[in-house]
Amino acid sequence: MGDLQQGRLPLSLGGVTVDVGGIPAPLYFVSPGQINAQAPSTLPPNQVTVRVFRESLLSNEVTVKAAKLDPGLFMFVGRPIITHLDYKLVGRGEFEGSTPAHPGEYVVLFATGMGLTLPPVLAGQLPMFAAQTLAPVRVWVGERLLEGAASIQYSGQAPGLTGVYQINLLLPLDVPLGDPEIIVDTRTQPGLTIAIDPTPEPAPDPPKTYSDVGTRHALPATPANATPRSK
């Protein structure tokens, strides 16, 4: 795993470098069978080549398509990573402690590939500040389209995480219940769902006991020297 260098991921790790479109890519993880690299933020939207160097060895070239915007939701155990505002996971018990969301609740989606931000965050940089996405974000929950400030409180870099974006989304009161599909900007993986249950009824107040009310309704005290009135 890459150690930060002046607040950024390294461009070389374990003797390995990755070239994307002629630009060195920041590296997060390198193993004999896997390399996790972040696409450079200055890539033009076009076909680009990817090459891996390990010391004096060079891999074959692979051509991939680069785009200004291509969101993807992070996943875990078959569901997108979505949390409540307390950062506990939304789900139906697939992961320990996960619970469904409810209408009227804010949830947080975690994504990648959402493009440039303001202020700018360079590839490999560890942002410790909020950076809003330049492109407007739309989210579909089932057939319900959510967009604009009324539904999306924030969309941008997740502070303290490299290459990770977060979307703070308000689920409306009429959001579809069950496990509706959730899509960001029509481009994220199809078939991903979010668990939404009806808002639970508030628990009734417990019945008051005598000790709760007795002192409030006690009869006025009788003076010790009072004498009964004769008839």
Q: What is the pLDDT of residue 147?
A: 96
What is residue 212's predicted lDDT score, i.e. its pLDDT?
47
* pLDDT score, position 208: 61
Written as one string, the DSSP assignment of 174-215 is TPPPBS-BEEETTTSPTT-B--B-PPPPPPPPPPPPHHHHTT
Q: φ and ψ at 211, to 5 degrees?
A: -65, -25
Q: Domain extents for the chain? A: 16-65, 72-184
Query: Is the predicted pLDDT of residue 189 greater than 80, yes or no?
Result: yes
Average pLDDT over residues 175-195: 92
Average pLDDT over residues 149-164: 94
Sign of CA dihedral 81, 108, 192, 102: positive
What pLDDT score does 220 carry? 43
User: Which among 112, 120, 110, 109 has a CA at the least distance from the CA of 163?
Assistant: 112
The DSSP secondary structure of 131-144, one letter per residue, reads: EEESS--EEEETTE
Query: pLDDT tens-digit profile of 7-55?
Result: 899 999 999 999 999 999 999 999 999 999 999 988 888 899 999 999 8
Structure tokens at 114: 């959402």
Residues 28/10, Cβ–Cβ less than 8 Å: no
Residue partners of 174: CB distance under 8 A and separation at least 6: 103, 144
pLDDT at 209: 55
- pLDDT tens profile 198-211: 988 776 777 665 54
As a whole-number percent, the residues of the chain with pLDDT over 90 amount to 68
pLDDT mean over 65-77: 91
Please report which confidence band the pLDDT of residue 215 belongs to, taking 50, 70 and 90 as the band edges.
very low
Query: What is the Cβ-side half-sphere exposure of residue 185, based on CA atoms within 13 angstroms?
Result: 20
Give the pLDDT band of residue 230 (cuts 50, 70, 90): very low
Q: Which pLDDT value is given to residue 216?
A: 45
Provide the pLDDT for residue 1. 54
Query: How confident is residue 99, by pLDDT bands cut at 50, 70 and 90?
Result: very high
Indicate if the pLDDT at residue 182 is higher than 60.
Answer: yes
Give mean pLDDT, residues 168-196: 93
Length of the chain: 231
CB 169 within 8 A of CB 106: yes
Task: Please give the angle made by the CA atoms of 145, 149 and 150, to the nearest 5 degrees.
Answer: 65
How many other CB atoms are found less than 10 A from the CB of residue 98? 19
